[in-house]
Structure 1
Amino acid sequence: MCGIVGFIGTRDATPILLKGLKRLEYRGYDSAGVSIWNDGESQVIRCQGKLVGLEDKLREQPAPGPLGIGHTRWATHGRPSDENAHPHKVGPISVVHNGIIENHLALRKELEQDGASFSSETDTEIFSHLIYRELERNQDLTEAVRAALGKVVGAFAIVVMNDRDPDKLVAAKSASPLVIGFGDGENFIASDVTAILDETRRIAFVEEDEMVTITRDGATITDLEGKVITREPTTVTWSAVQAEKAGYRHFMLKEIHEQPRAVADTLAGRVNLEDDDVSLDGIELDVAKLDRIVMVACGTSYHAALVGEYLIEEFARIPVEIELASEFRYRDPLVGPGDLVVAISQSGETADTMAAVREAKDKGAEVLAISNVLGSSIPRLADYAFYTHAGPEIGVASTKAFTTQLVAMVLLAIYLGRRNGKLDAAHAAKHLAELVAIPVKMSDILDQSAQLQVIARRYGHARGFLFLGRGNQFPIALEGALKLKEISYIHAEGYAAGEMKHGPIALIDDELPVVVLVPR
């Protein structure tokens, strides 16, 4: 949930960092801070609470300067407080960090025995001490960061600033996203492209186990051993305006109402009604050689995968297994040549799903990624990539990303069934006609918002809900329960309808609303 923004140029970094951090507020946070260099040293300003508190502090203690890093923190190690907020500074070194250092206790003990004194409860401060210690040994920031990374076990995205070398920022990534933004005589680094879209559309993603040294003139990407990697910037096609609320009270409501357009964009150019077929952006799978499909995903994407299981087995008669990515990665899964692993992730950066993809590829399986974010990590790791084109999803609870993933599941099922001959033209035509009609039907449902508000007011007092579905509606029941928990903090459970008599019925009384999914 944490956010990172960094800037190097000639303009004042302060408003750029604040604007970028505001773009990341949707991710949730409990504290924020910046470190801005000027006239030989950096000034660190941090506060618990919202960004408005940080803005107030910056008005009281102006910190103009052409180089800076900023962070929004969601507490993991250490309670929310000014002291635990990022950046963490040790000597001339300022660090912002997303992720978790798994061996932080051992490293803290080692550093304390070496004379280090800690001012926070965080694991991030360990990075600051390690890098400072290495800097004292070799004087080069990039090499100091590289040496420090060699001691750390865990997931991280870090950006480092050195008061003694104000002509660069150094960043690194392992299982946590980072993106470089390219300007004219200035450059940017962030954990999410949304943070820098007001400044540039030319970006390059930092890939797994890579470092980047950013100057005013450009960026040098290397692996952790120092080998230079060439990567051309790409241009983001959507704008920061698309991430605005556009008159809606909050992002989730906006994104609910964007679903008809998002689904239409997912279908665009992929449905061929003349041939009763679909195309998957040039993807050509050798369907005849597929023994099995294994889908890996987390959360809402997992529910989309469950729907895909029903559809693919019905349309293409190919065995499908669904795996929680967080479980798949921690055992020795039986997957390999002849299997197609389908990895579903809205962001394309889900750490557990990314680890599952690596596991599958190491075992010889082919991987198809389904994602919403062009150029994100999981599609780059995969053999094939299919993008849903839902547009930026800012709301934490997924809406349009989920419905477009469902559309992707239908398209994939039809694609497979048509190519192995299990789905004839007549049935394909029927399904495609229903598919292209969905945007209009979604709009009709959204027009019933007033009726839905009446229902919400009637049952808003309930302490719990039960969602029931059968067949491919069972995963939708699971998703409905998840959404209610996420948004209203009301406990909810989703069950297969036939399982109600095997336990859940014991909890049913006249105060428990039951939502039953019965599509026509």
Structure 2
Amino acid sequence: MCGIVGYIGFREAYPILIKGLHRLEYRGYDSAGVAIINDENKLSVYKAKGRVQDLEEYARDKDVTGTIGIAHTRWATHGEPSNANAHPHYSQSESLALIHNGIIENYAVLKAELINKGYSFHSSTDTEVLVQLIEYIKQINHCDLFTAVQIALNQVVGAYAIAVIEKGNPNQIIAARKSSPLVIGIGEGEFFIGSDASPIIEYTKKVVYLDNEEITVIKRDEAPKIVTISNIERTPKVKELEMNLSQLERGGYPHFMLKEIFEQPETLKNCMSGRINIEGTNVTLSGIIDHKDKFINARRIIIIACGTSWHAGLIGEYLFEEFCRIPVEVEYASEFRYRNPVICPDDIVIAISQSGETADSLAAIDLARKAGAFVYGVCNVVGSSIPRNTDSGSYTHCGHEIGVASTKAFTAQVTVLTMMALTIAKEKGTITGSKYLEVIKELQNIPSKIEHILALSDKVKELSLIFTYAQNFIYLGRGYNYPIALEGALKLKEISYIHAEGYPAAEMKHGPIALIDNEMPVVTIATHSVIYEKVVSNIQEIKARKGRVIAIINEGDETMKALADHYIEVPATEECLDPLLTSIPLQLLAYHIAVNKNRDVDMPRNLAKSVTVE
């Protein structure tokens, strides 16, 4: 959950590293640092608690010259945010500097052994233990840095993406990964390293993704050498990035989150492009069709995900059961991997992740594959770990998402799950021809209907002023909109730090209704559905206890307008597609409340975009 960037080439490294850290700051932002080897072969480390701009201020009068360097922006795991705990970390002799994303689980045992051998430590991190271990191995074995890293990584337990540079050796960077992403950019006479492609795209589109337990030696004017920690040489596979530089800029918006909310009409068109035919009569996902026998004969579908992706999975459960008539279970990946689940060879496991690097989801995938299940990935980032570790899958194609609170990735995931359900249902014969065509046609109308909702942003902004200083919120929904209640509550929690809970509306009377009074805002998703009258009754129960109701309703619903204290209207659609519309005003509401509270919307406290540790 940290950002790694590195450079070796003919340019000054520091400006490239700093720009890269800014691009990666969404991955972690409690401290930052750089390590650079100058022309006199001096290795210098500069680091500071806080944001990248704090590091820039600290390094303003320092010697940052040199054409090789590594840099890091941190999300704390071991040790509180501080200058001492910031990366890079020196080895004891200060001849090595290392940056690290991940967790070394056996660091305490290794640290105790190194202390017994005379090593001292200046931080609370597991990362300092690793760099000290590498130096110790290098010294006692009289070996080069690459060999020392290889031996050390065979002794550690956990996850890592690392980069190491060495005083007196300004011509190489050693990097390695296991269960944490790392990508190498291939330029003309220069090389780049990143946790993802965002710090690289400005300079080259040619990249190599490291796989698990691979180490690379990156030297000037030489092709990267890749070897496993077991000393098996690999041939680098160069790929072309699909990302555009414009995706990394705010484009006039005050925050990436607002930009990404407003991008959703376009991102959903991209998600559907090439999958729904020009006539709008057929949807085809090649990842399904190429393995249609697996899906037709599936005994059960298990969806594994975390956070917002888990909410998308809940909507997927409704879709697959309604259209495909396959039993579905939706699991938190973190729980699934530890509870000894029953998995059968005729099960299909669908893993959903925006980043494709979610540690718990990757571990759950490994568990499912070992049990013989067919694993299908739904992911946004091309070339990330989940697509490389699943049997088949679909990309969401929503573009790089920088805001920590996911918006466009969520609606893209729901769109892919909808197209999956339609594709499978058609192959199984479990959906009527008329219903199939109705849903496809309406799915194509969703982008324009989202544009219509986005035009209400100023109205939502006005509404947000009324509730900015509420202490708690309750979100209610039923059917397809129950997961949207959960997602709306999560968005508010993530970026405004207001406590919020989502519930099935009918469950209010089974406990949570005790919380209702005239200080409690209740957001109710009350669009037309087969249980519309039930939702009306739920709202009446809240109003009878003086609750303040904000209702998401269909346009022209006079009943709800009269009942609710405040309302936001959205266009009508097929019930199964409702989440694609009702999620939008809740994203806007959370955003505007957070802005009113002067929160850092794109980088909320304690959070990071890509959760690559447990």
Question: What band does the TM-score fall into relative to the shorter chain?
Answer: over 0.9
Q: CA shift at 1:317, angstroms?
A: 0.3
Q: Name 2:126's counterpart in structure 1.
A: 123
Question: Are 1:138 and 2:142 an aligned pair?
Answer: yes
- Name the stretch that deviates more: 343-352 or 131-140: 131-140
Aligned counterparts of 2:69 and 2:28: Cα–Cα separation in 1: 22
Q: CA shift at 1:459, angstroms?
A: 1.5
- Name the stretch that deviates more: 156-165 or 411-420: 156-165
Q: Is the 8 A contact 2:287 2:394 kept in 1?
A: no
Q: CA shift at 1:273, angstroms?
A: 6.6
Q: Name 1:246's counterpart in structure 2.
A: 251
Counterpart among 162, 167, 171 of residue 167 in structure 1: 171
Counterpart among 412, 415, 426 of residue 418 in structure 1: 426
- Name the stretch that deviates more: 365-374 or 82-91: 82-91
Counterpart among 93, 97, 101 of residue 94 in structure 1: 97
SS in 2 for 1:437: helix
Counterpart among 185, 209, 214 of residue 210 in structure 1: 214
Question: Are 1:451 and 2:454 an aligned pair?
Answer: no
Question: Are 1:433 and 2:441 an aligned pair?
Answer: yes
- For residues 114-141 of structure 1, give each alpha carbon's deviation from its aligned partner in whole angstroms, at most 9, with x where no partner exists: 1101121211100111110111123211
Q: 1:12 corresponds to which letter in structure 2?
A: E
Aligned counterparts of 1:511 and 1:271: Cα–Cα separation in 2: 47
- For residues 196-242 of structure 1, give each alpha carbon's deviation from its aligned partner in whole angstroms, at most 9, with x where no partner exists: 11121111211122211111222112222011112321111222221
User: CA distance change for structure 1 residues 449 and 141 in 2, over 3 Å: closer, same or farther?
Assistant: same
Q: Name 1:52's counterpart in structure 2.
A: 53
Aligned counterparts of 2:51 and 2:326: Cα–Cα separation in 1: 50
Q: 2:398 corresponds to which letter in structure 1?
A: A
Q: Is the 8 A contact 2:3 2:21 kept in 1?
A: yes
Q: Is the 8 A contact 1:187 1:218 kept in 2?
A: no
Q: Name 2:484's counterpart in structure 1.
A: 476
Q: 2:3 corresponds to which letter in structure 1?
A: G
Q: Is the 8 A contact 1:279 1:415 kept in 2?
A: yes
Q: Name 1:281's counterpart in structure 2.
A: 286
- Name the stretch that deviates more: 477-486 or 228-237: 228-237
Aligned counterparts of 1:115 and 1:4: Cα–Cα separation in 2: 30
Q: CA shift at 1:406, angstroms?
A: 0.7
Aligned counterparts of 1:153 and 1:232: Cα–Cα separation in 2: 27
Q: Name 2:82's counterpart in structure 1.
A: 81
Q: Is the 8 A contact 1:273 1:432 kept in 2?
A: no
User: CA distance change for structure 1 residues 330 and 282 in 2, over 3 Å: closer, same or farther?
Assistant: closer
Q: Name 1:499's counterpart in structure 2.
A: 507
Q: Name 1:71's counterpart in structure 2.
A: 72
Identity across matched positions, percent: 50
Aligned counterparts of 1:157 and 1:511: Cα–Cα separation in 2: 47
SS in 2 for 1:277: coil
Question: Are 1:105 and 2:108 an aligned pair?
Answer: yes
SS in 1 for 2:148: helix
Counterpart among 201, 205, 209 of residue 201 in structure 1: 205
- For residues 353-403 of structure 1, give each alpha carbon's deviation from its aligned partner in whole angstroms, at most 9, with x where no partner exists: 011111111110111100001111101111102001000000000000000
Q: CA shift at 1:40, angstroms?
A: 2.1
Aligned residues: 520
Aligned counterparts of 1:74 and 1:443: Cα–Cα separation in 2: 35
Question: Are 1:225 and 2:233 an aligned pair?
Answer: no
Aligned counterparts of 1:275 and 1:37: Cα–Cα separation in 2: 58
Question: Are 1:151 and 2:155 an aligned pair?
Answer: yes
Q: CA shift at 1:487, angstroms?
A: 1.4
Aligned counterparts of 2:461 and 2:65: Cα–Cα separation in 1: 48
Q: Is the 8 A contact 1:293 1:320 kept in 2?
A: yes
Q: CA shift at 1:183, angstroms?
A: 0.6
Q: 1:452 corresponds to which letter in structure 2?
A: V
- For residues 29-79 of structure 1, give each alpha carbon's deviation from its aligned partner in whole angstroms, at most 9, with x where no partner exists: 111111101222211111112222322333311221111100111222122
State TM-score, norm by structure 2.
0.83
Question: Are 1:306 and 2:309 an aligned pair?
Answer: no
SS in 1 for 2:170: coil
Aligned counterparts of 1:30 and 1:275: Cα–Cα separation in 2: 48
Counterpart among 367, 376, 388 of residue 380 in structure 1: 388
Unaligned runs of 5+ in 2: 529-614
Aligned counterparts of 2:96 and 2:236: Cα–Cα separation in 1: 28
Counterpart among 174, 181, 188 of residue 184 in structure 1: 188
Q: CA shift at 1:275, angstroms?
A: 7.8
Q: Is the 8 A contact 1:173 1:210 kept in 2?
A: yes
| Residues 35-46 of structure 1 mapped to structure 2, 5 A cutoff | 35-38=35-38, 39-46=40-47
Q: 1:439 corresponds to which letter in structure 2?
A: P
CA RMSD for the aligned pairs?
1.3
Q: Is the 8 A contact 1:468 1:494 kept in 2?
A: yes
Q: Is the 8 A contact 1:277 1:418 kept in 2?
A: no
SS in 1 for 2:518: coil
Aligned counterparts of 1:46 and 1:313: Cα–Cα separation in 2: 52
State TM-score, norm by structure 1.
0.98
- Name the stretch that deviates more: 452-461 or 297-306: 452-461
Question: Are 1:28 and 2:36 an aligned pair?
Answer: no
Q: Is the 8 A contact 1:316 1:422 kept in 2?
A: yes
Q: Is the 8 A contact 1:469 1:496 kept in 2?
A: yes
Question: Are 1:258 and 2:266 an aligned pair?
Answer: no
Question: Are 1:235 and 2:243 an aligned pair?
Answer: no
- Name the stretch that deviates more: 488-497 or 220-229: 220-229
SS in 1 for 2:171: coil
Aligned counterparts of 1:52 and 1:497: Cα–Cα separation in 2: 45
Q: CA shift at 1:28, angstroms?
A: 3.3
Aligned counterparts of 2:488 and 2:77: Cα–Cα separation in 1: 28
Q: CA shift at 1:274, angstroms?
A: 4.7
Question: Are 1:293 and 2:293 an aligned pair?
Answer: no
Q: Name 1:9's counterpart in structure 2.
A: 9
Q: CA shift at 1:448, angstroms?
A: 0.6
Q: 1:88 corresponds to which letter in structure 2?
A: H
Q: Is the 8 A contact 2:381 2:395 kept in 1?
A: yes
Aligned counterparts of 2:27 and 2:195: Cα–Cα separation in 1: 11
SS in 2 for 1:442: helix
Counterpart among 409, 412, 416 of residue 401 in structure 1: 409
Q: 1:28 corresponds to which letter in structure 2?
A: G
Aligned counterparts of 2:483 and 2:236: Cα–Cα separation in 1: 40
SS in 2 for 1:172: strand
User: CA distance change for structure 1 residues 420 and 273 in 2, over 3 Å: closer, same or farther?
Assistant: farther
SS in 2 for 1:391: coil
- For residues 68-99 of structure 1, give each alpha carbon's deviation from its aligned partner in whole angstroms, at most 9, with x where no partner exists: 10011122212222221111111211100111
Aligned counterparts of 1:76 and 1:337: Cα–Cα separation in 2: 37
